Amino acid sequence: MIHSLFLINCSGDIFLEKHWKSVVSQSVCDYFFEAQEKAADVENVPPVISTPHHYLISIYREKIFFVSVIQTEVPPLFVIEFLHRVADTFQDYFGECSETAIKDNVVIVYELLEEMLDNGFPLATESNILKELIKPPTILRSVVNSITGSSNMGETLPTGQLSNIPWRKAVVKYTNNEAYFDVIEEIDAIIDKSGSTVFAEIQGVIDSCIKLSGMPDLSLSFMNPRLLDDVSFHPCIRFKRWESERVLSFIPPDGNFRLISYRVSSQNLVAIPVYVKHIISFKENSSSGRFDVTIGPKQNMGKTVEGVIVTVHMPKAVLNMNLTSTQGSYTFDPVLKVLTWDIGKISPQKLPNLKGIVNLQSGAPKPEENPSLNIQFKIQQLAISGLKVNRLDMFGEKYKPFKGVKYITKAGKFQVRT
Amino acid sequence: PVTCRHDDLKEMLDSNKDSLKLEAMKRIVAMIARGKNASDLFPAVVKNVACKNIEVKKLVYVYLVRYAEEQQDLALLSISTFQRGLKDPNQLIRASALRVLSSIRVPIIVPIMMLAIKEAASDMSPYVRKTAAHAIPKLYSLDSDQKDQLIEVIEKLLADKTTLVAGSVVMAFEEVCPERIDLIHKNYRKLCNLLIDVEEWGQVVIINMLTRYARTQFLSPNQNESLLEENPEKAFYGSDEEDSKDDKPDAASLVKRKPYVMDPDHRLLLRNTKPLLQSRNAAVVMAVAQLYFHLAPKAEVGVIAKALVRLLRSHRSVQWVVLQNVATMSIKRRGMFEPYLKSFYIRSTDPTQIKILKLEVLTNLANETNISTILREFQTYIRSMDKDFVAATIQAIGRCATNIGKVRDTCLNGLVQLLSNRDELVVAESVVVIKKLLQMQPSQHSEIIKHMAKLTDNIQVPMARASILWLIGEYCEHVPKIAPDVLRKMSKSFTGEEDIVKLQVINLAAKLYLTNSKQSKLLTQYVLNLAKYDQNYDIRDRARFIRQLIVPTEKSGALNKYAKKLFLAQKPAPILESSFKDRDHFQLGSLSHLLNAKAVGYQELPDWPDEAPDPSVRNVEVPWLPTLRFSLSLSFPDPESVSESESESSSSSSESGSDSGSRGEESGDQSEEEEEEKKKKKKGKEGPRKVCPESAGRYHRHWRGEGAGSATSWELRNTSRDMGGLQPISPCLFLMPLTPSIFRRDQLITSQPQHVPTAFLPPSAQMLSPVFSTMKTYELLHRMAGEGLSVEYYFNRQPFPPDPHMVAVQIQFSNNTESEVKNLRVSEPKLVSGMRIQEFQEIGQSMVGIDTCPQLPGVNWAGSFSLWHVSSSTHSRQFYVSIQPPVGELMAPVFMSENEFKKEQSESAMLRSQPDPESCRRGELR
């Protein structure tokens, strides 16, 4: 299956390599570099590249290319999903999945890779098991280690691997037992020029942070489970209970994990929380254009829309922009031609507006297209679909846990065409 | 300095302090990670292989595995450590030793590895067995001569019943002997049933393998449909005569074909994989999707669309792969993605490669009803800044126009407008597409051709120029004035043109020469002369060829006469089709499908067989079903009769508990049964009355979810591991959705409600009356084995009056000998778990000839799966026989309302809600 892995940074340095079978020379990456050069940008490097003797399957995460070398037929998604799992594990262990973090913790990284694959086939990918095998670094521990010479390697044997609940550590103990659920919903939308919705959909996840001792068996129920149209589950969830009763019943992993992802059924009309008024125009035979954007809250259900950021990819001919904003600050990157307007909270009384002149390269033809506006926002304490957690019950343990649910709505891929 | 630093490391490794060793090893591993050579440290490192410190040891392993191949002799020094490790009492140490040992790629240790794998394959610990499965492909890649021995190990491990091993051994199977499909037969049902509890990565491998397996063993569920489908297409494309000819044999073959009935094992696979569409793992979802695409009846494939669309929210690389697969699927099964059309709309922020794939899907989904929406969307795309994407959009419009006649003119007009676009690429692409469209109906569009002729002055993209020239040449009769002028201009610039343009200039010249030689004779000569001295030999060759063909000379042969026919023949319009067409001959989701080329090690997806192979190969002897064993004794004329009875009973339910990873839900049943049984024992009851709430829940789900009655009958059948006892259950049971029925073990058929035991059933539950019955008989004793006496039995599915909790088993004796048989007896056994048997009356009288004598003992299987041996004996002969009833024969159908059902279910849920850590297996709790 997976033969080797190379980690490559944006400047093309191979800063880590790991082989699970015979060693494959670094020169195989030349094919990757070739493809990278051909692609206009990092986003367009094809994830699967065929070379005379190998296949290269890669992902791009946090400015790092994870390039795996394959020799025989294997489902590409299998490899891609695994590589993402590797990146997630690094994130989980080091707090970030950056080149520096990987270089600083190269031994742990190596140990992790060793445990995650055996002969190229995934062995242990559950965070809970890995953490039992290899302890994540903490500042305190690294200080202690450097003094005492002790290690990050778990002294205990990884019993979790043998258990029937492979996602949960065997012995978990907390003084404060807590279970938190974050219901996070994202609105994906395409709004057309006239302001009508071309496409809108709500995608949600429930991220959990569970710190409960022993072997708790939880069941989480909703007031309106019918809203959930398409759900994907963490392996801990009992599919049958969901099918029959629409209750999420599970023995949770320890720590942070994504419990479910869901899509709200498309029959429900999606309430779009903001509206945008925009005039972006370029004059024929003149080297300037007009830019005027106002953004305002719509059905916000009494909640404030905050964290609003508008990003616009301007046409290539744009040299710079002279704008004034009534609220927030804007920046224009003349190299990438990206305008970013950081607004913050929107108050309905005074709508934020950004307007001014766009300067074009002299002599360049009038851009044919108008750029689209990408909007980000957040609404606290609101799940836009109306999804509500009903209750959380715990079985199997005697103590009373502290329970909490938080709702938040965000813009997902939210685009306004102009 | 390099050697210096390494000396320093060697010193640290030789020291007595673990901390120094660890530090040294960390630095060495960091070197390896950076791809630096650390091989000269091998002797110093390998000494530490038996180090007490776990972390040092692990890092030494990392080093060893990396360099052993290069330092084979030295690597042998470490082997004994691992051999010791293989004998360690701790399973994790055994596993780890095997893992490292098998990763050392040194051919000389092949025999040691082989031995270690064989031993580990029969280890007590499933974890060690899993490691053994992982080691198999390693050894195989080291020495493929071991194949036969390894296949034996694989066969053994395939029979393993734990989820831990399943994925790994199928992986080994796929790498070592994917062609040995026969090894799967006996494990097929088990794999299907274990699937949901196998770890994610194993699921992918198993599902992919089972897809291939199913293609060899089952019949196409769409065979009838595909015949029906072909016809309208023929009517559309072919001429009427052909059609009427074709129709008859088709109709005949339709009639001849047996009505399709899906093999229950086929159904089992489809049903057990379906929940995995909700996995968080994209690879699992894709695996199930491809399985459904390749194996499911057309009407059921739709379920995968939702899950695939969900994956589009994932990372770019996942999207990229999923979209390629959706593109292929959407050609064959357009309908299933239509509801999700808008999910494929393109955002300006999508990377170009994603945009182009989405466009492909949108184009595939276009039909008469949604085309106007799609075209409106395309209009937005044409104004994009991303020119590659715009070019692709123009092609997409062209494809829509060819496929959907209704919008052809609209599309053409739109494309013509694009000809005045400022961007040359856009214009060029439009020209190419317009050319293809015009070819479909040239006569109506001479205006457009004229317009395009003018473009030759401005447009520089070679492909576009070539297309225009071809158009003018082909339809020169529609533009008689302009064509010679274009040739004049082109001959001026001929030398500076690209090769494809030059070829088209020659082409144009030739065609004009044939239609309008007066105006173009000289020009043609000139062009041909230029071409004669061109650098490119294709062009020189073409010029020579054309000159001979069109210019009549003495030498020129018969072909000359036909030159006009050759050049100006009616040419079929090109079919604009997706590059994803017919890609589905590769298994979807595979690397080969993605590359559209066979990858190394790709296993061909076989075509469905015409005749289904024998399904009984998948039958498995099931040890845990209740079995009634007799020994029959009979006496031949000898008058003295001594009877002796012997009985034996053993409960195998505990064994079956571990077996029955078999299927998540099933094991749930069992643990409950055990629990309930314990309860009953406490009460001192024999506990004959038992309802199986879990299985009821399962049926319930099917009703609600699918409304498909047949699913339930398969369920039953599979639970019983295909004892062959059940006909597809009659529709009557299933035409009442939301009215779950409960099957009782001990009584299949009673029509009177008073027979319903009360302990586990709500009072209002009503038994169903038998709606069908089979008289299928089972052989208990063959006449050869029975020395003339043959015994058969069947379940008559009638209430057994003496005791309503019993199942009636009708036993039929026939004597095939000349002589008398006397004193036939079946003795009552002692039974542990509440199994009872109604007294069996001795058949005292003699039987001569073909004399049959039905006997009717009632047997109470008491709800537990226990073995029951009954020996029946007379003085002279004793035969040991056994009855294994299908589970279905032990249950009774009842009615209850939905609320009651829920109550039952929640009660059973109560039982489940107290997990003790030992029994927390996912399966049991699901």
DSSP secondary structure, B298-325, as one string: HHHHTHHHHHHHHHTTS-HHHHHHHHHH
Candidates B866, B868, B865, B862; CA nearest to B883 is B868
Q: Report the distance separating Cα A278 and Cα A194, nearest Å.
A: 10
Higher pLDDT: A61 or B893? It is: A61
CB atoms within 10 A of CB B895: 17
| pLDDT reading at B850 higher than 50 | no
Distance of CA B655 to the CA centre of its chain: 30
pLDDT number for residue B319: 93
The pairing of beta strand B866-870 with beta strand B627-635: parallel
Q: Length of chain A, please?
A: 418
| pLDDT reading at B269 higher than 50 | yes
Locate tokens 């869901």: which residue? Answer: A262
Q: For residue B236, report the phi and psi dihedrals to the nearest 5 degrees.
A: -75, -45
Q: What is the pLDDT of residues B320-377, one digit of tens each?
A: 999 999 999 998 888 889 988 988 999 888 899 999 999 999 999 998 888 988 998 9
Q: What is the mean pLDDT of residues A331-349?
A: 88
Q: CB under 8 Å to B388, separation ≥6 — which residues? A: B352, B356
Q: What is the mean pLDDT of residues B310-328?
A: 92
Q: For residue B144, report the phi and psi dihedrals to the nearest 5 degrees.
A: -75, -10
Locate tokens 């429900």: which residue? Answer: A268
Task: Tell whether B687 is within 8 A of chain A (Cβ).
Answer: no
pLDDT number for residue B171: 92
Task: Tell whether B295 is within 8 A of chain A (Cβ).
Answer: no
Task: Indicate if the alpha-carbon torsion angle B151, B154, B158, B161 is positive or negative.
Answer: positive
Of B17, B35, B208, the CB nearest to A14: B35
Indicate yes or no: CB of A192 within 8 angstroms of CB of B423: no
Of B17, B280, B705, the CB nearest to A232: B280
pLDDT class for A195, splitting at 50, 70, 90?
A: confident
DSSP conformation class of A401 = -
Q: What is the pLDDT of residues B14-23, one digit of tens each?
A: 888 888 888 8
Q: What is the Cβ-side half-sphere exposure of residue A309, based on CA atoms within 13 angstroms?
A: 12
Q: CB under 8 Å to B60, separation ≥6 — which residues? A: B25, B45, B46, B48, B49, B51
pLDDT class for B442, splitting at 50, 70, 90?
A: low
Closest B-chain CA to A242: B926
With 0-12 / 13-18 / 19 or more C-beta atoms within 10 angstroms meaning exposed / middle / buried, residue A348 is exposed
Q: What is the Cβ-side half-sphere exposure of residue A348, based on CA atoms within 13 angstroms?
A: 10
pLDDT number for residue B360: 92
Q: Length of chain B, please?
A: 926
Higher pLDDT: B667 or B97? It is: B97
> Among the residues of B404-535, which ranges form H helices?
408-418, 424-438, 446-455, 462-474, 482-493, 499-515, 517-532
pLDDT class for A119, splitting at 50, 70, 90?
A: confident
> Among the residues of A216-340, which ranges form H helices?
239-245
pLDDT class for B724, splitting at 50, 70, 90?
A: very low
Candidates A228, A196, A179; CA nearest to A404 is A179
State how far residue A127 is from chain B, nearest Cα, in angstroms: 14
Q: Report the distance separating Cα B824 and Cα B841, nearest Å.
A: 9
Which structure tokens are listed for B853? 């004598």
Confirm if B455 and B420 have CB atoms less than 8 A apart. Answer: no
Residue A314 Ramachandran class (φ > 0 left, ψ -120 to 50 alpha, else beta): beta
Confirm if A328 and A344 have CB atoms less than 8 A apart. Answer: yes
Task: Indicate if the alpha-carbon torsion angle A124, A125, A130, A136 is positive or negative.
Answer: positive
Q: Report the distance separating Cα B524 and Cα B507, nearest Å.
A: 10
What radius of gyration do chain B's Cα atoms show?
Answer: 38
Indicate yes or no: CB of A23 within 8 angstroms of CB of B137: no
Of A40, A151, A263, the CB nearest to B22: A151
With 0-12 / 13-18 / 19 or more C-beta atoms within 10 angstroms meaning exposed / middle / buried, residue B828 is middle
DSSP secondary structure, B201-226, as one string: HHHHHHHHHHHHHHHHHS--TTHHHH
Of A75, A234, A413, the CB nearest to B590: A75
B135 interaction partners in chain A (CB closer than 8 Å) = 119
Residues 70-109 of B with CB under 8 A from A: 90-93, 99, 102-103, 105
Confirm if A231 and A238 have CB atoms less than 8 A apart. Answer: no
State how far residue A76 is from chain B, nearest Cα, in angstroms: 6
Indicate yes or no: CB of A153 within 8 angstroms of CB of B286: no
B34 interaction partners in chain A (CB closer than 8 Å) = 15-17, 106
Q: What is the mean pLDDT of residues B554-558?
A: 67
A371 interaction partners in chain B (CB closer than 8 Å) = 348, 385
Task: Indicate if the alpha-carbon torsion angle B704, B707, B709, B714 is positive or negative.
Answer: negative
Which structure tokens are listed for B888? 């279905």
Q: What is the mean pLDDT of residues B198-202?
A: 90
Task: Tell whether B482 is within 8 A of chain A (Cβ).
Answer: no
Measured between alpha carbons, how far is residue B695 from residues B122, B240, B723, B906 in Å? Answer: 34, 55, 18, 14
Closest A-chain CA to B341: A199
| pLDDT reading at A164 higher than 70 | no
Closest B-chain CA to A247: B926
User: Where in B296-393 does DSSP place strands (E)?
Assistant: none
Q: What is the pLDDT of residues B377-411, one digit of tens each?
A: 998 888 888 888 988 999 899 888 888 888 888 88
Q: What is the pLDDT of residues A134-150, one digit of tens each?
A: 888 766 555 555 555 55
State how far residue A406 is from chain B, nearest Cα, in angstroms: 22
Residues 7-66 of B with CB under 8 A from A: 17-20, 22-23, 26, 29-30, 32-35, 53-55, 58-59, 61-62, 66
Closest A-chain CA to B125: A162
Confirm if B71 and A53 have CB atoms less than 8 A apart. Answer: no
Indicate yes or no: CB of A368 within 8 angstroms of CB of B423: yes
Q: Which residues of B597-609 are buried (b: 16+ CB within 10 A; e: fewer)?
A: eebeebbebeebe
Q: Report the distance separating Cα A270 and Cα A219, nearest Å.
A: 28
Q: Report the distance separating Cα B896 and Cα B741, nearest Å.
A: 6
State how far residue B723 is from chain A, nearest Cα, in angstroms: 26
A55-64, B326-335, B774-783: segment of lowest average pLDDT: B774-783
Indicate yes or no: CB of B29 within 8 angstroms of CB of A240: no
DSSP conformation class of A365 = P
Q: What is the mean pLDDT of residues A319-330?
A: 88
Closest A-chain CA to B918: A164
| pLDDT reading at B441 higher than 80 | no
Indicate yes or no: CB of B19 within 8 angstroms of CB of A153: no
CB atoms within 10 A of CB B376: 11
Task: Tell whether B697 is within 8 A of chain A (Cβ).
Answer: yes
State how far residue A349 is from chain B, nearest Cα, in angstroms: 32
pTM: 0.73
Candidates A240, A261, A338: best to mutate against B (most CBs of B within 10 A) is: A240
Q: Report the distance separating Cα B589 and Cα B584, nearest Å.
A: 10
State how far residue B307 is from chain A, nearest Cα, in angstroms: 7
State how far residue A292 is from chain B, nearest Cα, in angstroms: 20
Q: Please, what is the average pLDDT of chain A?
A: 86
Indicate yes or no: CB of A122 within 8 angstroms of CB of B201: yes
State how far residue B348 is from chain A, nearest Cα, in angstroms: 7
State how far residue B811 is from chain A, nearest Cα, in angstroms: 41
Q: What is the pLDDT of residues A365-408, one digit of tens each?
A: 777 777 889 999 999 888 888 889 998 999 888 888 899 999 99
Candidates A14, A29, A72, A81: best to mutate against B (most CBs of B within 10 A) is: A81
pLDDT number for residue A228: 86
Task: Indicate if the alpha-carbon torsion angle B324, B325, B329, B335 is positive or negative.
Answer: negative
Q: CB under 8 Å to B318, separation ≥6 — which residues? A: A77, A80, A81, A84, B282, B311
Locate tokens 């001295």: which residue? Answer: B533
Q: Report the distance separating Cα B858 and Cα B840, nearest Å.
A: 9
Indicate yes or no: CB of A155 within 8 angstroms of CB of B307: no
Locate tokens 């055994």: which residue? Answer: B94
Indicate yes or no: CB of B352 within 8 angstroms of CB of A40: yes
Of A73, A201, A238, the CB nearest to B590: A73
With 0-12 / 13-18 / 19 or more C-beta atoms within 10 angstroms meaning exposed / middle / buried, residue A400 is exposed
Q: Report the distance separating Cα B347 and Cα A417, nearest Å.
A: 9
Q: Report the distance separating Cα B663 and Cα B671, nearest Å.
A: 12
Locate tokens 């309503």: which residue? Answer: B804
Q: What is the ipTM of this complex?
A: 0.90
B132 interaction partners in chain A (CB closer than 8 Å) = none
Which structure tokens are listed for B397? 């419009």
Indicate yes or no: CB of A77 within 8 angstroms of CB of B283: yes
Indicate yes or no: CB of A417 within 8 angstroms of CB of B380: yes
pLDDT number for residue B290: 93
Locate tokens 């986003």: which residue? Answer: A43
Q: Which residues of B722-755 are buried (b: 16+ CB within 10 A; e: fewer)?
A: bbebbeebeeebbeeeebbbbbbbbbbbbeeeeb
B913 interaction partners in chain A (CB closer than 8 Å) = 217, 395-396
DSSP conformation class of A371 = P
State how far residue B42 is from chain A, nearest Cα, in angstroms: 16
Q: Report the distance separating Cα B323 and Cα B317, nearest Å.
A: 10
- Cβ-defined contacts of B438-442 (< 8 Å, 24+): B438/B412, B438/B471, B438/B475, B439/B474, B439/B571, B439/B573, B439/B574, B440/B402, B440/B408, B440/B573, B442/B474, B442/B475, B442/B478
Q: Report the distance separating Cα B166 and Cα B133, nearest Å.
A: 9
